[in-house]
Structure 1
């Protein structure tokens, strides 16, 4: 019995293909940290976006090839912590926050800690959460905003010292959004296998042209707008629930009067 269990555990192993993409994403996050330490901030920011792309691919590859596993899920989460938790905070710290002393590294730590908390909460709620929405800003989107701001600053040769407090505020706010109860549309219900109108292909081409025209500005603007969409969506949903609750608690006579006024 013991011999059979040992043999089975040896045969299990891990799936190579999806974990190769996860390892590549982990390497991109690690490279971003090393590049920032040597003052190469533009490659560091780009590496974080590369990690985002690879992180989006590994899960889809696992589902398409039916190679999902508990090991892959844990490995992906640890990779996300490095690429979207540590890397963005250290990149923006080296770029603009180090001049603030203690305030600077505290902001970087707040972002790192909230990214860890965000990932832990997601892992514990993934089974029963509404797949249409994220609770809190997803860590890859948060990392894109931080990395995008550095990329924009480097592209337009901005002086980091003059943006220290702005970078501090952005880092803290984005970190807090990750652990907030603000809801964000997840796009997980979007199925690439479904048929779409022909015009959808044209829209995709236009998006690619727009991104290629000015990658740092376009990518930062898109993800920043996505970060703003969460509070707006949450406020709209709260207003709708309040209206429904008020409608349910209205006096029957008031309902009849409104029905007569609006036949």
Structure 2
């Protein structure tokens, strides 16, 4: 039998002096800035829905257009700050569905498509669903290895462009004072919205605009004057300017298809 007595106990550290592990890891500010911009764009999309329900259709359209501008900025800012993350990509996709799928569909229905009754509602639903399919396919294709030349194209109409193009009936209504919608005009507008939905869900290539960002030195003055003129027109004649932008974008689609096919043949 051991007569040495009980073994000595290890000293108990004081709770006040014991080292504490950090529970939460600090997040760099460069990761937060793009997400804050995305959330602000989401707020604009939700505000567009409220404005449409209150009858302020022009302001609702402006909110959707503002969300599209912010959507174009958050990705560029994230890449510039090296703040891209998987969380930011998922948040951006969810915000895009609200901003460019749900909000435009409801604005269109409240403004014009309601005159077509059930057919107008179906067109609005299919537009939002097509936007969801477009975003889901984009998320899947992010992880796929693609040739460098394909990165200058979108497969299907991008969601922000789909929202801006889809709202064309409202631009025309306010730009040319066409009066309240009739059942016949609402049916035609519903067919147009369905056509935009098909472009969203299709695999028709569109220019991505990712190659934009560097301007040759000799064209800097021309670009600055053009941007200033575009902003002045947008502020003074917003609906007319949006009509011109929409028609110009639609006119670019055949050129994008032709360019895509040419590069695809050259790569084979």
Task: Out of 47-56 and 153-162, give the one that drifted further.
Answer: 153-162
- Is the CA contact 1:45–1:148 (under 8 Å) kept in the aligned structure 2? no
| Whole-angstrom CA distance in 2 between matches of 1:239 and 1:165 | 37
Separation in 1 of the partners of 2:67 and 2:51? 14
The number of aligned residues is: 238
Q: Tell me which residue corresponds to 1:153.
A: 173
Match of 2:193 among 167, 171, 174: 171
For 1:3-42, what aligned pairs fall within 5 Å after superposition? 7=22, 10-11=24-25, 13=27, 15-42=31-58
Structure 1 position 211 matched with structure 2 position 234: yes
Match of 1:230 in 2: 253
Kept after mapping to 2: 8 A contact 1:133/1:184:
yes
Could you state the TM-score of these two structures normalised by the residue count of structure 2?
Answer: 0.79
Cα distance, 1:63 vs. partner? 1.5
- How far the C-alpha of 1:222 sits from its partner, in A, is 1.5
Residue in 2 that maps onto 1:254: none
Q: Matches of 1:204 and 1:155 in 2, distance apart?
A: 22
Aligned residue number for residue 66 of structure 1:
82
| Cα distance in 1 between the residues matched to 2:70 and 2:223 | 24
User: Match for residue 60 of structure 2?
Assistant: 44
1:18-69, Cα deviation, whole Å (9 max, x unpaired) = 1111111001100111111111111111100010111111112211222211
User: Which position in structure 1 is the counterpart of 2:243?
Assistant: 220
1:20–1:196 CA distance, 2 compared to 1 (3 A): farther
Check 1:196–1:72 CA distance in 2 against 1; reply closer, same or farther (3 A cut).
farther
Residues 49 and 144 in structure 1, CA contact (< 8 A), matched pair in contact too: yes
Shifted more, 30-39 versus 233-242: the winner is: 233-242
2:224 to 190, 201, 213: 201
TM-aligned CA distance change 1:215 to 1:136, over 3 Å? same
* Structure 2 SS opposite 1:11: coil
Structure 2: distance between partners of 1:66 and 1:238: 33
- Secondary structure (helix, strand or coil) at the match of 1:217 reads helix
By how many angstroms is 1:179 displaced? 1.3
Tell me what 2:93 maps to: 77
TM-score (structure 1 length as normaliser): 0.80
How many Å apart are 1:230 and its aligned residue? 1.6
Q: How many Å separate the matches in 2 of 1:182 and 1:95?
A: 29
- Single out whichever of 151-160 and 65-74 deviates more from structure 2: 151-160
Q: Secondary structure at 1:79's aligned position in 2?
A: helix
* Distance (whole Å) between structure 2 residues aligned to residue 20 and residue 13 of structure 1: 13
Q: Separation in 2 of the partners of 1:241 and 1:187?
A: 18
Structure with bigger gyration radius:
2
Question: Matched residues in 2 for 1:20 and 1:238: separation?
Answer: 38
What RMSD in Å do the two structures reach over aligned CA positions? 2.6
